[in-house]
Copies of this chain bind each other. A is one copy, B any other.
Amino acid sequence: MWTNSHIVHLPSCERTNREEMEVAQNTWVGAAPQKPSPYLSNRGNLIRDFTGILREGFLLYHKDKHDEKDNPNGMINLGTSENKLCTDLLSERLTQADMFHIEPHLLQYADWKGRNFLREEVARFLYDYCKAPRPLKADNVVTLNGCTSVFCCLSAVVCDPEDAVLVPTPFYGMIKKHFILYNNVKLVYAHLTSEVSAADENPFHLSVEKLEKALQEATQEGARVKAIILINPHNPLGDVYTSTEMMQFLEFAKRHELHAIIDEIYMLSVFDERTTFQSVLSFKKLPDPQRTHVMWGISKDFVASGMRVSCLYTENQDVISAIGELASFHGVPGTTQYQVAQLLRDRDWIDQVYLKAHRNRLREAHHYVVNELRNLEVPFLHRPAGFFVWADFRKFLKEETFEEEINLWHHFLCEKILICCGKAFECCEPGWFRIVFSDKLPRLQLGLQRLRKALQQLEENHQCIGP
């Protein structure tokens, strides 16, 4: 029932030394599947062997992190969607006196859905920052340790094992893991491509027609599709849907009685001032409110992925109650709940200090990276949001296959630059890569230097990346 269809075979890097080779064999995507463990169940073996390009790259980076002083030849990570531009501001805020307050009840068991004070603060925060037409209710909020867990819980309660969920590709690839590991829910894809037409000049553009077609095909093939995932602002594309578009997608979901799982984790990371993000929570009327579930968290917009705090907003009390049961596995420390409530409450800091810097720094870093890509003659999508640029390396592939894409990824890794290839996002066209730009300038510079070098080498000597 669990499948492991994502394994890709990876040729070894000719230029690595023995030690690196060992790392490669143990951890890279495409390492031959391990021998089943006699100690694990079938499920346990599939869980152990479940890996993916995003995670593998991340592990590889952690074995050989770049550090200016201690490891200048270590890996530069422009592969993990993390924001390192405002860590200074957040650290400063989190070490202010008001954060260090411990009441006994924070150390005790409490409502697994999250403490009231936090759920109320989240409801107020979303009301203001999503510009909701009516105050939002704490009763509609569940707080969990990461959107990772929100996906996991939602898939458990709206799907049965082997049900399916529709998602446009490319998409944040970890979601696949969130749906399958515990819950054995599969994803079916609406593939977007770079192809444009006179009617639609926007590459990788999502439309209702594409959703209808994908749903119809999946259903014909026997999939029991129960939900659709919509990421807005989008990872990895950086797209922001207009409210008209989003409304159409929600109408589509309603028509087919699909739950709409809306991931707005990048909602405050729109750095282009000409673009306005419109949260689903800002809509006056939702087509199917009982099947509309919105998630957000502090991992991206508050550069706090290590804090593990996120929330789900839904009017559906059955979903809230069911997730309330599962929430015992996804609890956030009382003390952390307190800190996050303090953070979200501090509107002066958020508006006057944090968000301004957050967006400015994103804009500058984006500007730097897209300029460099232009210099490198790497085409890319110019988008207003997120931490990454979706870039087109197709011309550097010997042929347009995923094997070649992985080879190119591997070649970059040999040059100690981690970016993520399209396969990690289930993109159907080989050759696209996501480059994260939300890092400090010196690291971006070094990363792009290495990228340049890697591309130059390719032009000089194709055999580096051959098997």
Contacts and interface: CB of A to CB of B under 8 A. Distances in A.
A325 interface: yes
Interface in A164-190: 174, 177-178, 181-183
A331 interface: yes
A158 B39 contact: yes
Contact of A107 (B109, B110, B149, B307): B307
A12 interface: no
Given A157-B44, A182-B182, A102 B106 contact: no
Contacts of A43: 156-157, 159-161
A301 to B, nearest CB: 13
Contact of A100 (B95, B146, B183, B336): B95
A210 interface: no
> Which of A303, A325, A329 is most buried by chain B, counting CB atoms within 10 A of its CB?
A329
A102 B91 contact: yes
Interface residues of A, number: 81
A40 interface: yes
B108 A82 contact: yes
Nearest to A37: B318
A47 B45 CA distance: 25
A106 B163 CA distance: 37
A39 B106 CA distance: 33
A316 interface: yes
Interface in A123-179: 145-146, 148-149, 152, 156-161, 163, 174, 177-178
A109 B58 contact: yes
5 contacts: A40-B319, A41-B160, A43-B156, A47-B325, A91-B107
Please name the 6 residue pairs, one residue from A and one from B, whose CB atoms are nearest each other, closest first: A44-B157, A37-B318, A306-B334, A48-B322, A41-B160, A87-B104
Interface of A: 37, 39-45, 47-48, 50-51, 58, 62, 80, 82, 84, 87, 90-91, 94-95, 99-111, 145-146, 148-149, 152, 156-161, 163, 174, 177-178, 181-183, 226, 259, 290-291, 303-309, 316, 318-319, 321-322, 325-326, 328-336, 339
